[in-house]
Amino acid sequence: MIRRLLALWPQPGLLVKLGALHVALSVLQGLLFTLLIPILHALLSDPVDFAAATPWLAIGAAGVLLHWLLTVIATPVGFAASMRLAAALRRRLMAHTTTLPLGWFDAATKARLGRTVTASTGELSRLIAQLGPQVVQATVVPLTLVTAIFVLDWRLGLLLLATTPIAVAVMRRSGRIAAEVNEELDEATTEVAGRALELGQAQPVLRAAGYGETGGHRLRDALDEHRLRYRRGLRRTLVPGLGYAGVVLVAFVAMLVLAAALLLGGDLPVPDAVALLVLAVRYLEPLGALNGLIGGLRALENALGRIEAILRTAPLPAAASPVRDLAGTDIEFDGVTFSYGDSAPALRSVSFRCPAGTTTALVGPSGSGKTTIVRLVARFADVNAGVVRIGGTDVRELDDDTLMRSVAIVFQDVYLFDGTIEENVRLARPDATEAEFAEAARAARLDEVVARLPDGWRTRVGEGGAQLSGGERQRVSIARAFVKQAPIVLLDEVSSALDPENESMVQAAIADLCADPDRTVIVIAHRPGTLTGADHVVALDSGEIAERGTPAELLRTGGMFARIWTQNDRASGWHLAKDGRM
Ligand SMILES: Nc1ncnc2c1ncn2[C@@H]1O[C@H](COP(=O)(O)OP(=O)(O)OP(=O)(O)O)[C@@H](O)[C@H]1O
């Protein structure tokens, strides 16, 4: 376990220093107990020999002082090391997380990530400050004492040693069970955390649907499961725990019987017998505690495993010599097939090309693969077959930074950080000048939103942007795309109805975004204005291209695009002439 920990946190010097301090403390503690032997000899002799006891008492007092001093040194070192370990592990996990493919992040992995970054790293840091020292003490003190008992009477020493393998065997079994129980409990706890998060996030939806009271059933089920596993775990750990306590008790009784027999046979003086029994109690007591501690250690091993599992998750493979300059901004899908995990392909042999500076609208029924296309352009995941190219280069060959710098994404569910509007827009390019920032805000029609807010640009948007309407959030996101000045924009238009003012403002902003001849845009289009503004349309159905062409061509063909158009047309009262003009 120490080796695995060092692989994550290469600080051997610190661990050796801490280990040495705690071993010294434990040996000292054991030696202080053995001082009882000469002290009891002197005090139980007839007549009582105070003079003989005095130097041992003085050594004892000095030893206690030294023990205190070592504790004063070791405690802050332990706490500092434990905090450094937790911080280092958290930093490592967060750094690694930022390299993982975006397809990795689903509800379950996010809940596990949250628990691992908080609970598992915290548990592991306890190893250094608390559990580790306790385990060292529970092992080294008995070892020191059994050596002393051996020196005093080899028969009693042998008896204690003989019971040790049995105690260790029972302890290993109980540790294994504790680890399994801990793993099961952790799964249940992660499930509870995920459900609680979901309940919080879904409150508006649940209340709107009238499930405010009952919507927590998924959380309740998770809590019931947690309680069930906890009870089952307690039952499973009870038997080996009691077995271990039994072994320790039998060892003590055997020791008592042997000491009494030796005493009665005149083979063991009374002071030695008393001292030996006291030492035997001190020997068995930490051994008893060791069982619980081993369970704790196994739990920490599980925590370590959870951290390692996340760190083992491979980022998308990096190119051997990544391309740092885009040769163009045209986007090409060439025979692309892609599946999420083992599920059926979300895209099958999809091929199309978006020439640089044009706008391509993706249309199709829900689940037809539009979002997947957008994700593959930004390399959220790698294709299973075929190639996605930007400027003629396979996106897998592109340098990550180059790709992220070149692509701006406007999501439908815009997530805003709990900061001001200005901070949220600047996030896209913190070094944007005031003029660039103002121009982006104007183009996204965000300046008009800001003018209405009492705190203007300094208005806080709340977690996730909850203080703004859907249309306003999308305008913030469009402003980010403008300020980023990325030559490629991937846009998922809001599909839900917006109020008339937001509707026309968002439409105007999107039209401006698409109109720039220096920008290549792929838009998942839901609104007639966006559809007619596109240079090309790719209509998808069940992961395959159903048809493609200009809006006017597809309208004439009378296929899927024409049907979608007619539905939108009826809903919104927009009109498109057969030659494609509005
Ligand atoms: N993270 C995911 N894990 C597993 N399957 C997914 C995931 N995301 C999408 N899918 C599946 O891939 C297929 C294509 O989904 P995609 O989101 O690309 O469709 P879409 O056309 O954008 O749908 P919508 O208009 O509803 O957003 C669907 O069958 C969907 O269930």
For the record, the structure tokens of 558 come out as 């009378």
**Which residues of the chain, if any, have pLDDT below 70?**
201, 204-216, 288, 463-465, 495-498, 502, 568-582
Q: Is the CB of 369 under 6 A from ligand 1?
A: yes
CB 167 within 8 A of CB 251: yes
Kindly write down the DSSP assignment for every residue of 354-413, as one continuous string. Answer: E-TT-EEEEE-STTSSHHHHHHHHTTSS--SEEEEEETTEEGGGB-HHHHHHHEEEE-SS
Do the domains at 2-312 and 331-572 have one common CATH topology? no
> Longest C-alpha distance within the chain, in Å?
123
pLDDT the model gives residue 169: 83
Using an 8 Å Cβ cutoff, are 27 and 137 in contact?
no
Q: Give pLDDT tens digits for 281-327.
A: 888 777 767 777 877 787 788 888 989 999 998 888 888 888 998 88
Give me 17's structure tokens: 């220093």
Q: Which residues contact 270 (CB under 8 A, 6 or more apart)?
A: 44, 263
Give residue 571's pLDDT.
53
The 3-state DSSP class for residue 535 equals coil
> Is ligand 1 within 6 A of the CB of residue 367?
yes
569 CB-contact burial (10 Å; exposed 0-12 / middle 13-18 / buried 19+) = middle
CA–CA gap between residue 78 and residue 126 (Å, rounded)? 9
Q: Which of 340, 347, 411 to mutate to test the pocket of ligand 1 (most atoms within 8 A of CB)?
A: 340
Report the DSSP beta bridge partners of residue 540: 545
Tell me: the pLDDT tens digits for 480-512? Answer: 888 888 999 998 877 666 677 767 777 888 888
Task: Give the Å distance between the CA of 124 and the centre of ligand 1.
Answer: 38
For residue 548, what pLDDT is reported? 92
Q: Give 415 Cα–ligand 1 centroid separation in angstroms.
A: 19
CA pair distance 87, 79, nearest whole angstrom: 12
- Token duo for residue 305: 């495993």
Domain boundaries, the chain: 2-312, 331-572
Bridge pairing between strands 347-354 and 393-394: unpaired
Which two structure tokens, joined as six digits, stand for 166? Answer: 């049995």
Residue 376 Cβ < 6 Å to ligand 1: no
pLDDT of residue 205: 67
- Is ligand 1 within 6 A of the CB of residue 105? no
Tokens 């009271």 sit at which residue? 213
User: What is the model's pLDDT at position 215?
Assistant: 59
CATH number for the domain running over 331-572 = 3.40.50.300
Ligand 1 within 6 A of 370 CB? yes
Closest CA to 29 of 72, 66, 57: 66
DSSP at 324 = -
pLDDT for res 162:
85
Tell me what pLDDT residue 393 has. Answer: 95
Cβ(496) to ligand 1 under 6 A?
no
CA nearest ligand 1 atom 4, residue: 340
Q: What is the Cα–Cα distance from 109 to 191, expressed in whole angstroms?
A: 11
Residue with the smallest CA separation from ligand 1 atom 7 is: 340
How far is CA 317 from each of CA 17, 48, 97, 320, rounded to the nearest angstrom?
39, 80, 14, 9
Distance from residue 540's CA to the centre of ligand 1 (Å): 12
Fold of 2-312: ABC transporter transmembrane region fold (1.20.1560)
Q: At what angle do helices 50-97 and 36-44 cross, to 10 degrees?
A: 160
Torsion angle of the four alpha carbons 49, 55, 60, 63, in this order, in degrees rounded to the nearest 10: -170
H helix or E strand, kind and range, residue 523: strand 520-524
Residue 549: its H or E element = strand 544-549
Q: Whose CA is nearest to atom 26 of ligand 1?
A: 366
Distance from the alpha carbon of residue 537 to the mean position of ligand 1, in angstroms: 19
CA 494 distance to own-chain centroid: 30
Beta bridge partners of 539: 363, 547
Look up residue 525 and give its two tokens.
């289009």
- The minimum-distance atom of ligand 1 relative to the CA of 540 is 21
